[in-house]
Amino acid sequence: MNWHIGIISDEISQDFEHAIKVIKELGAEYVEVRNLWNKNVTQLSDSEFSEMVSIVNRYGLRISNLDSFVFKTYLNDEKGYNQHLRTLRRVIELTKKLDINFTRIFTFWYEGELKYYINKIMDRFYNAIEIAESEGVILAVENEHSCMVGNAKDLRFFLDNIKTKWIKVLWDPGNAFVARETPYPYGYELIKDEIIHVHIKDAMVRDGNFVWMPIGKGMIDYKGQLSAIKNKPYVISLETHYRNSNNDAEESTKESFAGLMKILN
């Protein structure tokens, strides 16, 4: 197997078992869990979490990682920050139950150019890194166009400043594109040695607006990007975001998955 392919379940349905069924039918081997049964995975009770795991096991799939919303809050929101640290502790606790070695994290809502905020962000990350180190779980920073670190250039700057082995990269070429970067080859080359997980979604500019597209139908060089990460040990997770004309999440994910498979084949 040259690639480890996953799908984020809520891009199909909030009905978790139905989403798992679809992922199994499509032929992906991993599920990435973010929101299910209309709540974030960190908000599940212990019994709901067990039920989630048993559904995944029943269909013979594997969980690649759990997605919290940690640090999708404002830099100066003290109450939000403390709540997010609690959420981080919870997602790490659940992550360790699954023997997974990383969890996804963000870099606070965008307020301006990163260089003006980097010291404050590093301050805010100090506690998170301390928690990660004590628990032995890596923080995978996702480049998110609505956050302070939106593309690979930002990621590189952030990593060079924060300098810790407890932070790696969740690389999202689609988000980088929307954050006005050429994801491949330019962005990827900046951070390729730090990647621990990948999100795949495609996009284009139509009439001056960014629009999500099925994989292979947008402006991102996924042929180049995917061949560059062939045989890498990490999971490539489909995070469609694209919606067809009927706004049907499941069909849109299937269409995107078909586009991904076409490129991989």
Q: pTM here?
A: 0.98
Q: What is the CATH number of domain 4-198+220-264?
A: 3.20.20.150
Whether the CB-CB separation of 235 and 30 falls below 8 Å is answered with yes
Task: Answer whether residue 2 shows pLDDT above 90.
Answer: no
Burial of 100 (0-12, 13-18, 19+ CB in 10 A): middle
pLDDT of 217 reads 98
- Rounded CA-CA distance 67/88 in Å is 10
**Residue 103: CB atoms within 10 Å:** 25
Please state the rounded mean pLDDT for residues 207-235.
97
Beta strands in the chain (DSSP E): 4-8, 30-33, 35-36, 39-40, 62-66, 102-105, 138-142, 167-171, 195-200, 202-206, 209-213, 235-238
Beta bridge partners of 147: 109
Taking all residues of the chain, what is their mean pLDDT, rounded to a whole number? 98
Task: Answer whether residue 166 shows pLDDT above 70.
Answer: yes
* pLDDT tens track for 29-88: 999 999 999 999 999 999 999 999 999 999 999 999 999 999 999 999 999 999 999 999
pLDDT of 1 reads 58
Please state the rounded mean pLDDT for residues 195-204.
98
